[in-house]
């Protein structure tokens, strides 16, 4: 093994943080249209891939395991304590049901598309599909969490990141352009005439700005995030050992890591209905940690796995149109307007990064609630994405 230019723990962590910061800085100061179609996430993952393969940083480091052990559970907690289901339902009404239909489309689409393309992919590609399902149900944080639960190889994670961004380039313009067909769509879906007016009124009543964080808020957030991580880790060990004793066959689906993340998710969601949810800046802190984690995944990958990219992308295109069909069916079934349907799909496929973009284009008053819908997807992702992966695996007899 050749020596790398930067091998120390501090140096590797500094590089990962610098890579994530650099691409957001470039996006901020240049305002390139490129970033509308290829978000910084793609570059944040790809840059460490090249740094690793050029022997600038190592492919193995305690930093990477540390990110999985500590950063990942912390950002799950920080994101999930802000989930506000009642507020989203109050504004969007049946629009939330359309998002859930879209989520069902992601799960079913994973199984169908994998069954079609798996013969051209590596045997463990179902784990990459699971990671992509995580992203498409709730966002990048779910992609990271699902990859941890499934022990997704870095190369398969990279294919998921690639497919996520390629589909984004195609799907986002479709969601934005759907506004041009609002009248015909709403007539087709038989949307009640007062639905949009009622949504705007409810959104105005729910408008609430987050207060400026104080120093003590960061201490509270740290205590909550680290405390939930510790409790969940201890419980996961107990539950896993009990499961091994009583039902050892379940180890294929429920590893100790899976137990840990599911417990973190569940406890964090329970905290979202307590005053903990009022702590400011949790989402921003959690999102920042997600991007550093993604950079760490890239640092572990090799370029060899990208030979499977054409087949993986074909599966992703089949998959996204299944999701779209489910969203259309939901809009028709629940008589929901095109604006809500587009936001619902974006809350799944693009999560908190894209849902506000679609909302701002369709109906600016719905921007705050679009973020809430994306967080609902985030709450579902850690449960449903691993399920989608295992269903896809079982569907082809793996």
Give residue-wise pLDDT tens across range 95-149. Answer: 889 999 999 999 999 999 999 999 999 999 999 999 999 999 988 889 999 999 9
Kindly state whether residue 360 falls inside one of the protein's structural domains: yes
Neighbours of 165 (CB within 10 A): 18
Give a yes or no: residue 6 inside a domain: no
Domain count, the chain: 1
pLDDT score, position 300: 85
Tokens of 57: 């940083």
Q: What is the pTM of this model?
A: 0.87
Residue 353's domain comprises: 67-151+164-280+303-395
Residue with the bigger pLDDT between 125 and 302: it is 125
> Is residue 179 one of the residues assigned to a domain?
yes
For residues 388 and 133, is the Cβ–Cβ distance under 8 A?
yes
Residue 206 has pLDDT above 70, yes or no: no
Asked whether residue 1 is domain-assigned, the answer is no
Q: How far apart are the first and last CA of the chain?
A: 33
Where does the pLDDT of residue 208 fall: very low under 50, low under 70, confident under 90, or very high at 90 and above?
Answer: low
For residue 350, is it within any domain? yes
pLDDT digit string, tens, across residues 145-168: 999 999 999 889 989 988 998 888
| Residue 37 is assigned to a structural domain of this protein | no
CA Rg, the chain, in Å?
Answer: 21
Between the alpha carbon of residue 243 and those of residues 266, 386, 387, the distances in Å are 18, 18, 18
pLDDT band at 1 (very low <50, low <70, confident <90, very high): very low
384 within domain boundaries: yes
Q: How far apart are CA 169 and CA 278, in angstroms?
A: 35
DSSP calls for 213-273: PPHHHHHHHHHHHHHHHHHHHHHHHHHHHHHHHH-GGGGGT--HHHHHHHHHHHHHHHHTT
Higher-pLDDT residue of 92 and 129 is 129
In a domain, 189, yes or no: yes
């Amino acid at each position: 093994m050749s020596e790398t230019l930067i091998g120390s723990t501090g140096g590797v962590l500094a590089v990962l943080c610098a890579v994530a910061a650099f691409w957001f800085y470039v996006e901020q100061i240049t305002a390139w249209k490129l970033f509308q179609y290829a978000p910084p996430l793609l570059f944040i993952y790809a840059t460490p891939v090249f740094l690793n393969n050029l022997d600038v940083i190592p492919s193995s480091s305690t930093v990477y395991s540390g990110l999985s052990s500590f950063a990942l559970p912390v950002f799950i907690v920080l994101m999930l304590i802000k989930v506000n289901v009642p507020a989203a339902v109050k504004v969007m009404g049946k629009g939330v049901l359309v998002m859930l239909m879209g989520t069902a489309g992601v799960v079913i689409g994973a199984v169908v598309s994998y069954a079609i393309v798996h013969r051209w992919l590596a045997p463990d590609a179902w784990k990459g599909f699971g990671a992509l399902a995580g992203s498409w149900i709730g966002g990048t944080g779910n992609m990271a969490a699902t990859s941890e639960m499934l022990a997704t190889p870095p190369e398969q994670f990279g294919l998921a990141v690639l497919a996520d961004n390629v589909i984004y380039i195609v799907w986002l313009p479709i969601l934005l352009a759907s506004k041009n067909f609002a009248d015909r769509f709403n007539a087709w879906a038989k949307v009640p005439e007062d639905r949009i007016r009622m949504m705007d009124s409810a959104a105005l009543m729910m408008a609430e700005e987050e207060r400026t964080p104080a120093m003590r808020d960061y201490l509270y957030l740290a205590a909550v995030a680290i405390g939930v991580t510790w409790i969940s880790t201890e419980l996961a060990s107990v539950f896993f050992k009990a499961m091994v004793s009583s039902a050892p066959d379940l180890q294929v689906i429920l590893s100790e890591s899976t137990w840990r993340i599911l417990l973190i998710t569940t406890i964090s969601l329970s905290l979202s209905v307590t005053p903990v949810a009022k702590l400011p800046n949790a989402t921003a802190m959690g999102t920042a940690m997600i991007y550093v984690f993604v950079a760490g995944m890239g640092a572990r990958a090799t370029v060899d796995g990208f030979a499977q990219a054409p087949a993986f992308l074909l599966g992703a295109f089949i998959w996204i149109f299944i999701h779209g069909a489910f969203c259309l069916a939901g809009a028709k079934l629940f008589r929901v307007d095109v604006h809500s349907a587009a936001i619902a799909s974006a809350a799944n496929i693009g999560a908190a990064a894209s849902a506000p973009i679609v909302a701002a284009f369709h109906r600016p008053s719905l921007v705050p609630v679009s973020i809430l819908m994306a967080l609902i997807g985030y709450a579902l992702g850690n449960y449903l994405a691993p399920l989608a992966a295992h269903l896809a695996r079982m569907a082809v007899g793996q």
